[in-house]
């Protein structure tokens, strides 16, 4: 383990307030991590750092975990730092005694605010050195910064930022400033932090404390100091799987970290699926076309549902009637839908019913006809007053995760859907179930799955393999009715299945994945893209690959009619492994003139969305005239995906030196419901390329730049 926690003189951390971890302790770990590329190495360093805090200063564990996570609160809390380039340059110039011009030159050189601040401050000598920063001090100041509202906020924020930067020493400056812009650059993505935390709870603590401390704390932290290697490995796997499962159902570190300080065994009990806390949504796997569905789901009964083109909404109602609506990205959007909130008590069949349901909210016209997503996107995002609503919406429910405070995630989809039918009342043009049809696997293929009861059978019942025409008709009708295509969902658990049988301890990652694919459980799997949910979009049927969700990272200045506008625009996919943006295409079509004009306002130097230089994490051989801050996701459709000498999408997946690019890209719409980290990831892009290559029997190589 590269990070030798023993060498940290914890005794020198004593203060009048007890033992307090210095901020330098975690930045030291960050420095080592920044030099480490292997995920396992990064996890180990983080794990060791967290172990020391767990033992010596447990009060610093939560602040440290947040500081490793590029966030200060769960997304649904809506707490954001709001530190932009203006505040940063004000504070850095003032601390370093430099000017904006020098800062600009430094930014052009480094493309990273942390490096800029480090370089600007490195030679500054302070006569009176402020007290060293502490982990909890930095975190609480960040929270104070986020809480500042109203007039004078910029100056007040700048003053606090300046105070922190002034007190920061050496490498602390670099990581502090990276934290301000929520980009630590240490490759410690969410899953890594969770794994490190889980391992830290499991490992023997004796190297870090005296035997007596070790014994008492070992009991407290659910550890056996004398476990052999195999037992430790098994416990670590169990802990990681438990941590992921809990986080997927209750993604708030403010609850998780205090719970694990009481022992991992308390985690589930303290962080259950809770009304008011959004769980991470289950997601569907892309398919090439309907034939792939039939191959994958042969012998299984499945439901086909319209895939509506609206906004995903996780709707919560507690027993007291308090409602919350969360986006796909777990942001609180209750304020956007007061009309949805108002209808919820009316859809419940019983008094004091509590629930969490998954639904698509779609815009409808006065006749109840479904409107395209663009209509819905005209609704204001915040503080919508019910009397001002001009765009009406209908809730189309497709799943339920909790009913009357009882989680129902492990019920089969057929049972969950039945709960929706039994406990909720449709209200015309306001609330209904998604339109669906069921297929029934023939008995010999059914493999023991429960028989469908007659009342569950849709009029259009088809055998999943033999009656493909019905499914195909349903699919075509979904497109005619203005949907994106269909979702295909396995109805019943695989044969012999009764509850959560997977053993995360004995199975390795690949085995687990494989088991799930083979068993095709019909449970609701938070935070997973599952084969038991397949999506078939109209794009596939048109013979074109799925659309991609890409991030604009730069643009050239347009010519001819487009002089003065951004055109073309350079778009990238996201690589979560390296936290980089890899360019995929230059897009010139699908935009309206208004869109171009709005873009000039959206991407401007003044609002900090135009950068002086490419960011260190933009991977491309292109050199656009203007670089953008990565801040939004656009849905883009193209003809096909090719191997490219210039673009870097999914580089290393298909070809060591070359990336993938999308040919003839066309803008479809903005995906406001997706964060930049939800953009199409490199792995998915590579999968799409492979699927397309399998389909056409040969690979394409782009002759020139796309
Ligand atoms: P996409 O970009 O295709 O919308 P996604 O990554 O947001 O996909 P997926 O789970 O892969 O999410 O695709 C399903 C999406 O389609 C959901 O997020 C939801 O918003 C929407 N949707 C519409 N109708 C349904 C339905 N009947 N069942 C599930 N999801 C549906």
Calculate mean pLDDT across residues 505-518: 53
Nearest CA to ligand 1 atom 11: 284
Ligand 1 in contact with 417 (CB < 6 A)? no
Q: pLDDT tens digits for 630-688?
A: 999 999 988 778 888 889 999 988 888 889 999 878 899 999 888 898 999 999 999 88
Q: How many Å apart are CA 117 and CA 168, to the nearest integer?
A: 11
Catalogue the long-range contacts made by 262-268 (C-beta closer than 8 Å, 24 or more residues apart).
262/220, 263/220, 263/221, 263/222, 264/198, 264/201, 264/202, 264/221, 264/222, 264/239, 265/222, 267/242, 267/243, 268/242
Q: What is the pTM of this model?
A: 0.78
Is 319 catalytic? The answer is no
Ligand 1, atom 2, lies closest to the CA of: 549
Q: 29 with 76: CB under 8 angstroms?
A: no
Instruction: Work out the angle at residue 702's Cα, subtended by the Cα atoms of residues 699 and 706, and round it to the nearest 5 degrees.
Output: 135
Q: Which of 280, 283, 362, 372 to mutate to test the pocket of ligand 1 (most atoms within 8 A of CB)?
A: 283
- What is the whole-number distance in angstroms between the Cα of residue 535 and the centre of ligand 1? 8
Is the pLDDT at 243 greater than 60, yes or no?
yes
List helix spans (H) across 168-301. Answer: 171-180, 190-202, 211-220, 229-249, 253-261, 267-270, 290-296
Residue nearest to atom 18 of ligand 1 (CA): 312
Contact 225, 204 (CB under 8 A): yes
- pLDDT number for residue 221: 37
Whole-number Å distance, alpha carbon 271 to ligand 1 midpoint, is: 26
Confidence of residue 558 (pLDDT cuts 50, 70, 90): confident
| CA 504 to ligand 1 center in whole angstroms | 28
Cβ of 308 closer than 6 Å to ligand 1, yes or no, is yes
- For position 295, what pLDDT does the model report? 79
Using the mean position of ligand 1's atoms as its centre, give its distance from the Cα of residue 45 in Å: 37
Is 416 a pocket residue for ligand 1 (Cβ < 6 Å)? no
Would the pLDDT of 443 be above 60?
A: no
Please state which of the ranges 373-387, 413-427, 453-467 shows the lowest mean pLDDT.
453-467
Mean pLDDT of the chain: 84
CA–CA dist 599, 145 (Å, integer):
29
Q: 76-85, 190-199, 200-209, 485-494: lowest mean pLDDT where?
A: 200-209
Choice among 90, 121, 157, 307 that is catalytic:
307
- Ligand 1: distance of its center to the CA of 532 in Å? 13
Instruction: List, in sequence order, every residue forming a beta bridge with 361; answer none if it has no partner.
Output: 311, 395
């Amino acid at each position: 383990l590269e990070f030798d926690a023993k060498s940290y003189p914890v005794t020198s951390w004593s203060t009048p307030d007890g033992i307090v971890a210095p901020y330098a302790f975690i930045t030291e770990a960050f420095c080592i991590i920044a030099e480490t590329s292997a995920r396992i190495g990064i996890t180990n360093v983080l794990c060791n750092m967290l172990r020391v805090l767990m033992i010596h200063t447990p009060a610093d564990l939560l602040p440290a975990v947040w500081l490793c996570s590029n966030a200060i609160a769960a997304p649904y809390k809506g707490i954001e730092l709001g530190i932009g380039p203006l505040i940063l340059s004000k504070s850095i110039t003032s601390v370093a005694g430099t000017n904006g011009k020098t800062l600009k030159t430094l930014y052009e050189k480094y493309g990273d605010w942390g490096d800029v601040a480090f370089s600007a401050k490195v030679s500054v000598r302070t006569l009176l050195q402020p007290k060293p920063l502490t982990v909890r001090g930095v975190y609480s100041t960040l929270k104070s910064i986020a809480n500042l509202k109203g007039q004078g906020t910029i100056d007040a924020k700048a003053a606090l930022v300046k105070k922190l930067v002034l007190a920061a020493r050496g490498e602390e400056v670099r990581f502090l400033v990276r934290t301000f812009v929520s980009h630590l650059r240490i490759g410690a993505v969410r899953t890594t932090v969770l794994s490190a935390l889980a391992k830290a709870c499991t490992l023997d603590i004796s190297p870090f404390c005296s035997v007596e401390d070790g014994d008492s704390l070992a009991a407290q932290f659910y550890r056996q100091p004398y476990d052999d290697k195999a037992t430790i490995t098994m416990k670590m796997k169990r802990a990681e799987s438990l941590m992921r499962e809990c986080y997927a159902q209750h993604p708030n570190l403010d609850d998780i970290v205090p719970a694990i300080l009481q022992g991992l065994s308390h985690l589930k009990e303290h962080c259950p699926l809770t009304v008011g806390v959004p769980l991470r949504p289950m997601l569907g796997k892309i398919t090439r076309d309907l034939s792939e569905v039939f191959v994958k789901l042969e012998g299984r009964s499945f439901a086909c549902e319209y895939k509506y083109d609206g906004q995903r909404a996780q709707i919560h109602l507690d027993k007291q009637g308090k409602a919350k609506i969360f986006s796909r990205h777990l942001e609180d959007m209750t304020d956007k839908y007061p009309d949805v909130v108002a209808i919820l008590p009316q859809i419940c069949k019983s008094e004091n019913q509590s629930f969490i349901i998954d639904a698509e909210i779609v815009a409808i016209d006065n006749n109840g006809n479904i409107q395209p997503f663009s209509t819905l996107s005209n609704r204001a995002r915040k503080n919508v007053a019910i009397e001002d609503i001009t765009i009406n919406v209908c809730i189309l429910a497709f799943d339920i995760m909790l009913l009357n405070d009882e989680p129902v995630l492990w019920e089969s989809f057929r049972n969950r859907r039945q709960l929706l039918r039994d406990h909720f009342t449709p209200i015309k043009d306001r609330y209904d179930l998604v339109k669906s049809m069921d297929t029934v696997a023939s008995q010999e293929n059914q493999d023991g799955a429960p028989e469908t009861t007659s009342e569950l059978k849709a009029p259009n019942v088809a055998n999943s393999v033999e009656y493909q025409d019905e499914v195909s008709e349903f699919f075509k009708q979904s497109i005619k009715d203005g949907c994106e295509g269909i979702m295909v969902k396995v109805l019943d658990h695989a044969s012999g299945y009764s509850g959560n049988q997977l053993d995360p301890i004995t199975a390795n990652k690949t085995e687990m994945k494989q088991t799930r694919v083979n068993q095709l459980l019909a449970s609701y799997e938070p935070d997973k893209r599952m084969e038991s949910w397949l999506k078939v979009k109209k794009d596939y049927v048109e013979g074109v690959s799925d659309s991609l969700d890409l991030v604009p990272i730069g643009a050239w200045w347009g010519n001819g009619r487009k002089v003065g506008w951004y055109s073309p625009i350079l778009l990238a996919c996201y690589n979560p492994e390296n936290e980089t943006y890899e360019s995929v295409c230059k897009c010139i079509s699908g935009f309206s003139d208004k869109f171009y004009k709005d873009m000039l306002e959206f991407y401007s130097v003044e609002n900090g969305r135009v950068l002086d230089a490419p960011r260190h994490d933009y991977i491309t051989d292109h050199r656009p005239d203007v670089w953008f801050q990565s801040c939004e996701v656009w849905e883009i459709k193209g003809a096909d995906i090719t191997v490219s000498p210039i673009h870097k999408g999914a580089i290393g997946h298909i070809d060591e030196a070359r990336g993938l690019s999308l040919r003839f890209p066309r803008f479809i719409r903005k995906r406001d419901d997706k964060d930049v980290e939800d953009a199409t990831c490199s792995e998915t892009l590579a999968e799409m390329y492979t699927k397309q290559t399998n389909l056409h029997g040969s690979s394409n190589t782009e002759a020139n730049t796309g």
